Copies of this chain bind each other. A is one copy, B any other.
Amino acid sequence: MDKKFVYFFGGGKAEGNASQRSILGGKGANLAEMTNIGIPVPPGFTISAEMCDVYFREGKIPQEVDREIDEHLNKLEQLLGTAFGSAENPLLVSVRSGAAQSMPGMMDSVLNLGMNKTTIQAMIRKSGNERFVWDGYRRFINMFGDVVMGIEHEKFEHIFQQKKDEAGVKQDTDLDTSGMKDLCERYLELYQKTTGESFPDNPREQLSKAIEAVFKSWNNPRAVKYREINHITDLVGTAVNVQTMVFGNMGSTSGTGVLFSRNPSTGEKKLYGEYLMNAQGEDVVAGIRTPHPIEDMRTQNLSMYDQILEISNRLEKHYKEMQDMEFTIQEGTLYFLQTRTGKRTAPAAVKIAVDMVEEGLIDRDTALMRIEANQLDQLLHPMFDPSVEKKVVAQGLPASPGAASGRVVFTAEDAEEWAAQKEKVILVRIETSPEDIGGMNVSQGILTARGGMTSHAAVVARGMGKCCVAGCGNLNVNYAQRSFSVGGVTVKEGDWISLDGTAGEVMLGKVPTIKPELTGNFARLMNWADEVKRLKVKTNADNPRDSQVARDFGAQGIGLCRTEHMFFEGDRIKAVREMILSKEETGRKKALDKLLPMQKEDFKGIFKVMDGLPVIIRLLDPPLHEFLPKEEEEIQEVTAEMGVDAVELKALIESMHEFNPMLGFRGCRLGVSYPEITEMQARAILEAAVECRAEGIDAIPQIEVPLIGNVKEFALNKIIVERVAGEMGLIRGKDYWVGTMIEVPRAAITADEIAPEVDFMSFGTNDLTQMGCGFSRDDAGKFLKKYVELGIYDRDPFQTIDQAGVGKLMKICVDNARKTKPQIEIGICGEHGGEPASVEFCHKIGLNDVSCSPYRVPIARLAAAQAAIKEKQGK
């Protein structure tokens, strides 16, 4: 085989480097890079991720690659003067996964590989620390048994607990050497009994099996689920890193820790991390013992602290990015085992990006590209109202910032079930594990009793932008009774609690929230975004309150103001029903006359807030039957209130029933059949604008006709608007504008006919997706999830634009429209308008603006900037 599958690193240089992530995985590429720049990294080699793909296709590791592994193993042994299975100087290695994208905790690792009867004795001789060696062996058997042979971890834990009980000790560390040795015997028995074979003694055989097991773990359910949640679809597999073991648990001069070059929660430029002396790395990550803040090391061992700080700084400067690192100290010698770009909260991401620009480390474009637009969501949602007194019942670590309220559940499965029922839940666990990933994803927040700032719960929650309070030690969780107690209070499953992830506080009940503001670093970043973006960002808002929020967040106008909500409010529904019940135009007009002044006030309120910015107002869209009563009781009420006959009302409701209301009598079809509705709305909008202008407000009304499929449907509605405007002496293109939504595939296809008639177009991608793909949003739940699982659609097309299909239709529309009206303004106002990938697509096909919900405006601004930067960079 010509292709190289194994890459060596060690002795100050490596065969790979940081640019080879797709082959070496993130971890492997960085181990190579660190080696190359002189960081003390235990030597080893990386088996390429391409091998993982080969392994799945062929079902085994090809002989040639086995030989390549042998060669690299020899090189490693020669470099270190050790050997696999040596009775003198045995080689011990770790075998770890590492894909091109980080999937923390999702795949398996095996440590201490190489131990057997011979090497154990050699290690005891060399270390003089028998307990340490047997402790290492029991860890090895446990991990190998679990990862390679699928023996449940709990079985080992159970034996360990038995042993501790027999020995009358509580902590793992309290078990003495003979206890450990005996534990190893029992583990080996379990292994023999469960697998039907004895534990492999040959290190090379151990290695082969471990490598295969790591490859296999690529497709374990939690890894698959993680990729699904994170939309990781373009990777072929994981690489495998085989690295010389170093031990943090060789006594008091040994230790291990995890580090961030800046604070991943706040972004503060200060070393941030935790460590434990006399411990292995997994002890820190798993949250079994609560570690010390890295700052403590300053007082304990300043020179070690300085070494760590220096390497951390070097790595950050080298990568020009905040680093997430792991280190181990073996008998006073420092090793770095891993470095990678650190995950961070949104506030941290913003601060770090802005700080690094000021430090001259990166430019503004890079800063803008560094922030995941969706992540800003964390900054844009309500926080707990500080003026409201909070009943804090427990204090934990501020593991992931934010505010969350929800009903308590105790298992990830319950979280998923409840969330499917539209319940907001808080997942409460003693500690979380990778199996809980699905439940964490659907929870509002996570609360754990154990584990530190770098525990599984904390890391995953920060990655998800979810509020998390971790290590809340005095929380007494009782899974069996589905409750927890703290400070004399017992909280049961289903009770409401609130979490403040920024303060690490747990409160009873639902605590009120206030809206966030766009200030400081965040505001600066947004200004940079505005300087580079080409797309205008507008908002979807139906009332002055939402309009104000959006304007504060930088919205450049209203891209969609729906008018139907206004029809439901208070007494209005009565007038609307009166209109529907009228058999003649005169009756309908009478009812509409009642609505006119109310609608006008609505629009005036919005124009005032949006002073000087354009406001697109959509004419009535839903089918009229939505305004009629549905339940018997409600029908009786309406009957009494409006003095209509119940039988007649029911007959009307029956006659207005639709088989497929989505494709029924709605949108512009209402205005075509009942021109008086369009007339009233046009009058309300235009009178509102005129009255606002009289007050010195610059109202810019843009009237939008929904659901057209045929240019003539638009024209018939436009004529009405123009007539009303003409009566008021208003001029189209100067005092007001009339445009249309593009939601029906036929409209997209015939945009060349439509463009000359309209002043603007706006994609309604929700409906365009429904009609384009042929599935109703309300009904697609039955199969769409499976469709995404099967890869029919990469992602839910209602969440992100289906670029290959619906997007193609949009492209056809834009191209056709510009053929007959090159300067036409085209926007989007479906819910996709605030989704970063969709925003990028809109930029690419040349739209003029996107419109989204008020709280997503900054996300869209950033996404629009990123799209422009990518274009500049030719990506």
What is the interface of chain A, defined by CB distance below 8 A to chain B? 658-665, 669, 672-673, 707, 709-710, 712-713, 716, 743-746, 749-750, 753, 767, 770-776, 778-780, 782-783, 786-787, 790-793, 802, 804-806, 808-809, 812
Contact B790 A712 (CB under 8 A): yes
Report how far A802 CA is from B659 CA in the complex, Å. 23
A750: chain B residues within 8 A (beta carbon): 804-805, 808
**Residue with the highest number of chain B CB atoms closer than 10 Å, among A716, A744, A767, A774:** A774
A776: chain B residues within 8 A (beta carbon): 658-660, 662-664
Report how far A97 CA is from B790 CA in the complex, Å. 68
Q: List 17 A-B contacts (CB under 8 A).
A: A658-B776, A659-B776, A659-B778, A660-B778, A661-B779, A662-B663, A664-B775, A664-B782, A669-B783, A673-B782, A709-B772, A746-B773, A746-B802, A746-B809, A753-B804, A767-B774, A771-B771
Contact A746 B770 (CB under 8 A): no
Report how far A806 CA is from B716 CA in the complex, Å. 21
**Residue with the highest number of chain B CB atoms closer than 10 Å, among A716, A750, A787:** A787
Copies in the complex: 2
A709: chain B residues within 8 A (beta carbon): 772-775, 805
A660: chain B residues within 8 A (beta carbon): 660-663, 776, 778-779
Contact A786 B663 (CB under 8 A): no
Contact A805 B663 (CB under 8 A): no
Given contacts A716-B790, A746-B772, 4 further A-B contacts (CB under 8 A): A658-B779, A659-B778, A659-B779, A710-B792
Contact A787 B707 (CB under 8 A): no
Report how far A660 CA is from B662 CA in the complex, Å. 7
A812 to chain B, nearest CB (A): 7
Q: A716-B792, A774-B707 are in contact. Are A749 and B808 (CB under 8 A)?
A: yes
A764 to chain B, nearest CB (A): 11
Contact A792 B744 (CB under 8 A): no
A664: chain B residues within 8 A (beta carbon): 775-776, 779-780, 782
Query: What is the chain B residue whose CB lies nearest that of A781?
Result: B665
A338 to chain B, nearest CB (A): 38
Q: A746-B806, A749-B808, A749-B809 are in contact. Are A775 and B663 (CB under 8 A)?
A: yes
A662: chain B residues within 8 A (beta carbon): 659-660, 663, 776
Q: Report, nearest first, the 5 A-B pairs whose CB atoms are least far apart.
A: A660-B776, A663-B776, A744-B774, A746-B805, A745-B745
Query: What is the chain B residue whose CB lies nearest that of A774?
Result: B744
Q: A771-B771, A783-B669 are in contact. Are A712 and B663 (CB under 8 A)?
A: no
A659: chain B residues within 8 A (beta carbon): 661-662, 776, 778-779
Contact A792 B663 (CB under 8 A): no
Contact B779 A673 (CB under 8 A): no
Report how far A774 CA is from B776 CA in the complex, Å. 12
A74 to chain B, nearest CB (A): 46
Contact A786 B746 (CB under 8 A): no
A808: chain B residues within 8 A (beta carbon): 749-750
Report how far A666 CA is from B305 CA in the complex, Å. 64
Report how far A669 CA is from B707 CA in the complex, Å. 27
A806: chain B residues within 8 A (beta carbon): 746
Report how far A250 CA is from B238 CA in the complex, Å. 108
A802: chain B residues within 8 A (beta carbon): 746
A745: chain B residues within 8 A (beta carbon): 745, 771-772, 774, 809
Query: What is the chain B residue whose CB lies nearest that of A748?
Result: B745
Q: A745-B809, A809-B745, A809-B749 are in contact. Are A786 and B672 (CB under 8 A)?
A: yes
A712 contacts which of B707, B744, B791, B812 (Cβ < 8 Å)?
B791
Query: What is the chain B residue whose CB lies nearest that of A743?
Result: B774
Q: A750-B804, A782-B664, A804-B750 are in contact. Are A773 and B744 (CB under 8 A)?
A: yes
**Residue with the highest number of chain B CB atoms closer than 10 Å, among A658, A673, A771, A808:** A771
A790 contacts which of B672, B707, B787, B805 (Cβ < 8 Å)?
B672
Contact A665 B779 (CB under 8 A): yes
Report how far A665 CA is from B782 CA in the complex, Å. 7
Query: What is the chain B residue whose CB lies nearest that of A808?
Result: B749
Report how far A664 CA is from B776 CA in the complex, Å. 6
Contact A672 B783 (CB under 8 A): yes
A792 contacts which of B713, B792, B793 (Cβ < 8 Å)?
B713
Contact B673 A783 (CB under 8 A): yes
Query: What is the chain B residue whose CB lies nearest that of A716?
Result: B790
A716: chain B residues within 8 A (beta carbon): 790, 792
Contact A663 B770 (CB under 8 A): yes
Report how far A421 CA is from B652 CA in the complex, Å. 17
Report how far A786 CA is from B812 CA in the complex, Å. 30
A616 to chain B, nearest CB (A): 20
Contact B672 A774 (CB under 8 A): no
A669: chain B residues within 8 A (beta carbon): 775, 783
A711 to chain B, nearest CB (A): 9
Report how far A753 CA is from B804 CA in the complex, Å. 10
Contact A787 B746 (CB under 8 A): no
A774: chain B residues within 8 A (beta carbon): 663, 707, 709, 743-746, 767, 771
A783: chain B residues within 8 A (beta carbon): 665, 669, 672-673
